[in-house]
């Protein structure tokens, strides 16, 4: 076992916040109840779920009644794409760097992707060219999970309104929610996805915000929960933890983002200085999520590097969690035009709310030495 563990994979999942654990504890113990029932035990559970709607609404800037709880970000994204398509079949578009939870359902309904530029920012000219008056859905993430690029959502929404007035706009805000002020950013989006475990809540809970008038047909059919949009007995403990994590995130968001941004800048600067040939991928740091460093390290492959880092107690990834191991080339880097040679040595380090100076010190002590070792072995 290494002496110290430094977790730099918060974009994959982050630690449970103590506020979330405390909110969940009673519902994993003495309290229980099906929120759909009528008696007092059921009503008490329903109250927890309804209070949680307020927490989502405050984070996104929507009405509590617009919130549909789901089993996570993937389910929220699937419901947005497949649900709009089922309600109003027609051409669907998404950016080329969406998470697979959007890309796969868009592919399933025969949709198309829109190019991004070298920084990972959606190409508004390409979007304008792809939109037609009969487009029914456009999905563009608020911020990317691999390189952290923040997308110009207000411009995207305004463009869609002009060119395809009846299209719904969906924003996957799963990665943006821990860091950015969402209400302005997603004001033009009809559908917004969130995931609890990216901001310190439990895994397996999320939400889709559905603004009034958005055409949407349920995917999960059954008891008619969540305004008939997502059947299934509520995960009351999970929803309580999600709400507590949202509230804690909102209360400390600005300070946490500033503190983590400074840590990130020290980490990125230190690695660039210590590793010859290393470059940062994508947009300038101000256009990126505060917790994300994405490096391209020529002359090495991600997989053996991740192995050495893991041995030394540094948990990192090459791309998103679903593609970690770097077996397949990242679709995000490919869309950004990163050549395969540079993409092969990709390293994503993602900091989160519990990250500290000691984490950065440890990473700076371990990563350049591991890269040097691999380069020497390959020489």
Residues binding ligand PLP (CB under 6 A): 72-74, 77, 99, 101, 141, 145, 172, 174-175, 195, 197, 206, 320-321
- Residue whose CB is less far from ligand PLP, 73 or 111: 73
Q: Is 97 helix (H, G, I), strand (E, B) or coil?
A: coil
- Residue whose CB is less far from ligand PLP, 169 or 312: 169
Residue in the structure block whose two tokens are 């949407």: 216
Which helix or strand (DSSP H or E) is residue 40 part of?
Answer: helix 40-60
Minimum distance between the CB of residue 102 and ligand PLP, rounded to whole angstroms? 7
Determine the Cα–Cα distance for residues 75 and 83; give it in Å rounded to an integer: 11
Minimum distance between the CB of residue 77 and ligand PLP, rounded to whole angstroms? 6
CA atoms within 13 A of residue 295's CA, in its CB half-sphere: 32
Please state at what angle helix 236-274 crosses helix 357-378, rounded to 10 degrees: 60
CB distance 95 to 139 below 8 Å: yes
- Residue whose CB is less far from ligand PLP, 135 or 350: 350
- Residue whose CB is less far from ligand PLP, 175 or 256: 175
Minimum distance between the CB of residue 27 and ligand PLP, rounded to whole angstroms? 20
322 annotated active-site: yes
- Residue whose CB is less far from ligand PLP, 177 or 300: 177
CB distance 234 to 225 below 8 Å: yes
87-126 burial code (b ≥16 CB/10 A, e <16): ebebbbbbbbbbbebbbebbeebebebbbbbeebbbeeeb
Name the residue whose CB lies closest to ligand PLP.
Answer: 73
Which helix or strand (DSSP H or E) is residue 373 part of?
Answer: helix 357-378
Collect all residues with Cβ–Cβ distance below 8 Å to 194 and sequence separation of at least 6: 56, 59, 60, 73, 76, 173, 174, 177, 206, 207, 208, 209
Minimum distance between the CB of residue 4 and ligand PLP, rounded to whole angstroms? 26
Q: Would you name the residues annotated as active-site residues? A: 322
């Amino acid at each position: 076992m290494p002496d110290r563990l430094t977790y730099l994979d918060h974009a994959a999942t982050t630690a449970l916040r103590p506020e979330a654990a405390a909110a969940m504890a009673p519902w994993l113990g003495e309290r229980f109840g099906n929120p759909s029932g009528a008696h007092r035990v059921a009503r008490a559970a329903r109250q927890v779920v309804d209070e949680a709607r307020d927490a989502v609404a405050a984070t996104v800037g929507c009405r509590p009644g617009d919130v549909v709880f789901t089993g996570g970000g993937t389910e929220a994204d699937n419901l947005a794409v497949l649900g709009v398509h089922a309600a109003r079949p027609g051409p669907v578009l998404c950016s080329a760097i969406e998470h697979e939870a959007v890309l796969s359902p868009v592919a399933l309904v025969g949709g198309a992707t829109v190019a991004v530029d070298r920084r990972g920012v959606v190409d508004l000219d390409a979007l304008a060219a792809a939109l037609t008056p009969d487009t029914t859905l456009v999905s563009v993430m608020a911020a990317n999970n691999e390189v952290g690029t923040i997308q110009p959502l207000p411009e995207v929404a305004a463009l869609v309104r002009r060119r395809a007035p009846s299209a719904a706009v969906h924003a996957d805000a799963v990665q943006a929610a821990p860091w950015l002020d969402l209400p302005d950013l997603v004001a033009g989006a009809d559908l917004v996805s969130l995931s609890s475990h990216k901001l310190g809540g439990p895994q397996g809970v999320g939400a889709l915000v559905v603004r009034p008038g958005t055409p949407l047909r349920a995917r999960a059919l059954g008891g008619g929960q969540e305004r008939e949009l997502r059947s299934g007995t509520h995960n009351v403990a999970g929803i309580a933890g999600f709400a507590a994590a949202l509230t804690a995130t909102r209360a400390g968001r600005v300070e946490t983002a500033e503190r983590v941004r400074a840590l990130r800048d020290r980490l990125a600067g230190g690695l660039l200085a210590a590793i010859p040939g290393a470059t940062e991928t994508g947009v300038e740091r101000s256009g990126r999520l505060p917790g994300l460093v994405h490096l391209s390290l020529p002359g090495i492959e991600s997989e053996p590097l991740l192995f050495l880092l893991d041995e030394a107690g540094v948990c990192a990834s090459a791309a998103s969690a679903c593609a970690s191991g770097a077996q397949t080339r990242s679709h995000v880097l490919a869309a950004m035009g990163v050549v395969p040679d540079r993409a092969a040595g990709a390293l994503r380090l993602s900091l989160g709310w519990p990250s500290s100076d000691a984490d950065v010190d440890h990473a700076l002590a371990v990563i350049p030495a591991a890269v040097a070792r691999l380069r020497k072995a390959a020489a």
